[in-house]
Protein backbone atom coordinates (compact mmCIF):
# COMPACT_ATOMS: atom_id res chain seq x y z
CA UNK A 1 0.00 0.00 0.00
CA UNK A 2 2.86 2.40 0.83
CA UNK A 3 4.45 1.63 -2.56
CA UNK A 4 1.27 2.56 -4.45
CA UNK A 5 0.92 5.73 -2.39
CA UNK A 6 4.57 6.66 -3.05
CA UNK A 7 4.18 6.10 -6.80
CA UNK A 8 0.98 8.18 -6.83
CA UNK A 9 2.68 11.07 -5.01
CA UNK A 10 5.70 10.87 -7.36
CA UNK A 11 3.49 10.97 -10.48
CA UNK A 12 1.41 13.89 -9.19
CA UNK A 13 4.59 15.76 -8.21
CA UNK A 14 6.14 15.17 -11.64
CA UNK A 15 3.06 16.58 -13.41
CA UNK A 16 2.93 19.57 -11.07
CA UNK A 17 6.61 20.35 -11.63
CA UNK A 18 6.23 20.02 -15.41
CA UNK A 19 3.51 22.66 -15.38
CA UNK A 20 5.23 24.94 -12.85
CA UNK A 21 8.76 24.54 -14.24
CA UNK A 22 7.83 25.52 -17.79
CA UNK A 23 9.88 28.24 -19.46
CA UNK A 24 6.97 29.37 -21.64
CA UNK A 25 6.54 33.13 -21.94
CA UNK A 26 4.19 35.70 -23.42
CA UNK A 27 5.39 39.31 -23.45
CA UNK A 28 3.19 42.21 -24.56
CA UNK A 29 5.03 44.63 -26.87
CA UNK A 30 4.08 48.19 -27.85
CA UNK A 31 6.04 50.19 -30.38
CA UNK A 32 5.59 53.49 -32.19
CA UNK A 33 7.65 54.65 -35.16
CA UNK A 34 7.63 57.91 -37.10
CA UNK A 35 8.74 58.28 -40.73
CA UNK A 36 9.32 61.37 -42.86
CA UNK A 37 7.08 61.53 -45.91
CA UNK A 38 9.32 63.62 -48.16
CA UNK A 39 8.39 62.83 -51.78
CA UNK A 40 5.96 60.07 -50.76
CA UNK A 41 2.43 59.75 -52.09
CA UNK A 42 1.67 56.13 -51.20
CA UNK A 43 2.25 53.90 -48.17
CA UNK A 44 1.92 50.13 -48.25
CA UNK A 45 1.67 48.46 -44.85
CA UNK A 46 2.58 44.77 -45.10
CA UNK A 47 1.61 42.62 -42.12
CA UNK A 48 -0.27 39.55 -40.94
CA UNK A 49 -2.10 41.71 -38.36
CA UNK A 50 -5.14 39.53 -37.63
CA UNK A 51 -6.56 42.19 -35.28
CA UNK A 52 -7.62 45.75 -35.91
CA UNK A 53 -5.94 48.34 -38.13
CA UNK A 54 -6.93 51.92 -37.36
CA UNK A 55 -6.09 54.72 -39.80
CA UNK A 56 -6.25 58.33 -38.61
CA UNK A 57 -5.48 61.64 -40.32
CA UNK A 58 -2.65 63.89 -39.18
CA UNK A 59 -1.30 67.16 -40.56
CA UNK A 60 2.32 67.10 -39.44
CA UNK A 61 3.79 65.80 -42.74
CA UNK A 62 4.88 62.51 -41.17
CA UNK A 63 3.50 59.03 -40.81
CA UNK A 64 3.26 57.46 -37.40
CA UNK A 65 2.69 53.73 -37.10
CA UNK A 66 2.09 52.08 -33.78
CA UNK A 67 1.62 48.46 -32.87
CA UNK A 68 0.53 46.26 -30.03
CA UNK A 69 1.67 42.67 -30.20
CA UNK A 70 2.96 39.66 -28.37
CA UNK A 71 6.30 37.88 -28.36
CA UNK A 72 5.79 34.34 -27.12
CA UNK A 73 7.26 30.90 -26.76
CA UNK A 74 5.04 27.99 -25.83
CA UNK A 75 6.09 24.37 -25.52
CA UNK A 76 9.84 24.94 -25.78
CA UNK A 77 11.69 22.29 -23.78
CA UNK A 78 14.94 24.12 -23.02
CA UNK A 79 16.00 27.06 -20.94
CA UNK A 80 15.40 30.33 -22.75
CA UNK A 81 15.76 34.01 -22.07
CA UNK A 82 12.50 35.92 -21.75
CA UNK A 83 12.65 39.03 -23.96
CA UNK A 84 12.06 42.52 -22.66
CA UNK A 85 8.76 44.24 -23.30
CA UNK A 86 10.79 47.08 -24.84
CA UNK A 87 10.50 47.33 -28.64
CA UNK A 88 13.56 46.24 -30.60
CA UNK A 89 14.67 45.39 -34.14
CA UNK A 90 12.48 42.27 -34.09
CA UNK A 91 9.26 44.06 -33.07
CA UNK A 92 8.82 46.86 -35.57
CA UNK A 93 7.98 47.85 -39.11
CA UNK A 94 10.88 47.90 -41.58
CA UNK A 95 10.77 50.77 -44.12
CA UNK A 96 11.62 50.35 -47.80
CA UNK A 97 11.35 53.35 -50.13
CA UNK A 98 10.82 52.80 -53.85
CA UNK A 99 10.14 55.92 -55.89
CA UNK A 100 7.24 57.72 -54.21
CA UNK A 101 6.07 54.61 -52.36
CA UNK A 102 7.03 53.81 -48.78
CA UNK A 103 6.52 50.15 -47.87
CA UNK A 104 6.39 49.33 -44.15
CA UNK A 105 6.79 45.59 -43.50
CA UNK A 106 6.11 44.09 -40.10
CA UNK A 107 8.63 41.73 -38.52
CA UNK A 108 5.93 39.24 -37.52
CA UNK A 109 7.07 35.62 -37.60
CA UNK A 110 6.58 32.17 -36.20
CA UNK A 111 9.34 29.64 -35.72
CA UNK A 112 8.54 26.26 -34.17
CA UNK A 113 7.58 27.32 -30.60
CA UNK A 114 8.38 31.05 -30.95
CA UNK A 115 6.34 33.89 -32.42
CA UNK A 116 5.92 37.63 -32.69
CA UNK A 117 2.41 38.59 -33.80
CA UNK A 118 0.78 42.00 -33.98
CA UNK A 119 -2.75 42.34 -32.62
CA UNK A 120 -3.39 46.06 -33.31
CA UNK A 121 -1.97 48.64 -35.71
CA UNK A 122 -2.48 52.42 -35.49
CA UNK A 123 -1.55 54.54 -38.52
CA UNK A 124 -1.54 58.35 -38.59
CA UNK A 125 -0.94 59.99 -41.95
CA UNK A 126 -1.85 63.12 -43.91
CA UNK A 127 -5.09 62.70 -45.88
CA UNK A 128 -3.35 63.19 -49.24
CA UNK A 129 -1.31 60.00 -48.78
CA UNK A 130 -2.79 56.79 -50.19
CA UNK A 131 -2.57 53.91 -47.68
CA UNK A 132 -2.84 50.26 -48.71
CA UNK A 133 -2.79 47.22 -46.46
CA UNK A 134 -1.07 44.12 -47.83
CA UNK A 135 -1.97 41.11 -45.68
CA UNK A 136 0.67 38.43 -45.16
CA UNK A 137 -0.96 34.98 -45.03
CA UNK A 138 -0.38 33.08 -41.79
CA UNK A 139 1.14 30.26 -43.84
CA UNK A 140 3.99 32.64 -44.79
CA UNK A 141 4.97 33.48 -41.19
CA UNK A 142 7.11 30.40 -40.44
CA UNK A 143 10.77 31.48 -40.33
CA UNK A 144 9.84 34.81 -41.99
CA UNK A 145 12.63 37.38 -41.98
CA UNK A 146 12.11 41.01 -42.98
CA UNK A 147 14.99 43.41 -43.49
CA UNK A 148 17.61 40.76 -42.72
Per residue in 59-107, pLDDT tens?
A: 888 999 999 999 999 887 778 888 888 778 888 999 999 999 999 999 9
Q: Are 120 and 68 in contact (CB under 8 A)?
A: yes
Nearest in space to 136 (alpha carbons), one of 112, 113, 118, 114: 118
Per-residue pLDDT tens over the stretch 22-33? 688 999 999 999
List, in order, residues 6 or more apart from 29 with CB less than 8 Å away: 67, 68, 69, 70, 71, 85, 87, 91, 116
Which DSSP state fits 146?
S
Q: What is the pLDDT of residue 1?
A: 57
Task: List the strands of the sheet with 130-135, edge to edge.
Answer: 93-98, 101-106, 42-47, 130-135
Q: What is the pLDDT of residue 15?
A: 45
**Domains of the chain, residue spans:** 23-140
Mean pLDDT of 129-141: 94
Amino acid sequence: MNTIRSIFIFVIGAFACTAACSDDYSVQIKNNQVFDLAETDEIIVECYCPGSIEILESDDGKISIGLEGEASSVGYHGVQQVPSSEPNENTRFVPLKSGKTLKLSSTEYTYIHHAFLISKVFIKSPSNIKISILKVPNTSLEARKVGA
